Amino acid sequence: MRGIEFWVFIPVAYFSLLTIIIAFMISVDIGLIGRHIQFHLLTNPARLHTFGKYMKTVEYCYTIAFTFPKLAILCLYLRIFNISRSYRLAIYFTGAVLVATCVAGLLDSTFICRPFAYNWDKSIKGGKCGEVHKTYRYSIANIITDVMLMALPMPAIWKLRVDPATKASLFITFTVGSLGIITSIIRLTEFLRANKSHDPTFNSIHPAIWTVVEPGVYLITACLPSLQPLKRLIFKDVSLSKVVVSRLEHRSWIGSSRGRMAGSQPLHSDVDIEKPEDCRESRVKGPLVVGSKDEIGFHLAQFHFEEHEVKRAVSRCA
């Protein structure tokens, strides 16, 4: 990961998420979130202006924080699954939808209230706001892009010439990267519930939590490929794919499927892909050739090797 996602998308997403966390921490520390609005109206109504300013800051940062990690994931897909022009167009289309949603959200946040200060100061004469509750429709667009991100690698994985157990483990690997769908749905329901209340300061607790969790999940997912050295240090040779394969190999339907695959044997994950002779010789009989681009793509999909190692292996096997 040394492209635009490393220098732009990930840092921008990180600092946007960090700003959200700081804004919520300050809001809780000074009592803006967690207390009933009647308390602020009776003691110091001006604090509600501060609350509105913090929420507007969060609104801007959230839009950026959930968009940029997804763009980083799309960059990863381009490197792993750059298999056809139609697939690249699908990735570019998904990226265009993400950028359009982000720009629309930022513009909506800017022009929803006129003048701009009316977002937090409702005493301004002549000020007005649009239908603020409809801004949550961007959460629906966010969920749709999550589904698109989850669906993009599935056709390429389905076409891999590997046994069913390995294919199932790959499906699980990339589905785990789409856990943001769950957090998006939970956040949307929490905001809709809080929107029905007339006590925004008190009912902002759960929406605030999920506003941090959702972009945090996206950021972690986008950073997973670069965390492989840490994963190897902590978990050694343990991986999700190996667990799934070992479990499914005991199933009868795996045995029958292997019986239909003449001469096929389990794939060994400890292949040294840097040896050029592996590109010329096949040591495993069956639909997957050791050292071929099929296997290199399989290892890259599981992030068993660093990106520069895989690129070097692909160039040797070209």
* pLDDT tens-digit series, residues 234-272: 776 666 556 555 655 555 444 555 455 444 444 443 434
How far apart CA 228 and CA 252 sit, in angstroms, is 33
Find residue 195's DSSP bridge partners.
none
Q: Is the peptide bond before 115 cis (omega within 30 degrees of 0)?
A: yes
Check if the beta carbon of residue 188 is closer than 8 Å to that of residue 140. Answer: yes
Q: Tell which wins on pLDDT, 38 or 316.
A: 38
- Residue 24's identity, in one-letter code, is F
How far apart CA 239 and CA 301 sit, in angstroms, is 13
- Portion of the chain with pLDDT greater than 90, in percent: 29
Helix locations, 30-116, DSSP H: 37-43, 47-80, 85-111
**Does the pLDDT of residue 197 top 80, yes or no?**
no
- Mean pLDDT confidence for 89-110: 92
Q: What are phi and psi of 286, to 5 degrees?
A: 130, -170
pLDDT tens, 280-311?
443 333 333 333 444 444 444 444 444 444 44
Give strand ranges (E) for the chain. Answer: 113-114, 128-129
| Residue 57: predicted pLDDT | 94
- Mean pLDDT confidence for 194-217: 88
pTM above 0.75, yes or no: no
pLDDT tens, 139-166?
788 888 888 888 888 888 888 777 777 7
Closest CA to 61 of 98, 8, 13, 96: 13
Cα-to-chain-centroid distance, residue 233 = 24
How far apart CA 178 and CA 275 sit, in angstroms, is 34
201 Cβ partners below 8 Å, 6+ apart? 32, 33, 34, 35, 36, 37, 40, 48, 51
Q: What are phi and psi of 59, to 5 degrees?
A: -60, -45
318 Cβ partners below 8 Å, 6+ apart? none
Q: Is the peptide bond before 225 cis (omega within 30 degrees of 0)?
A: no
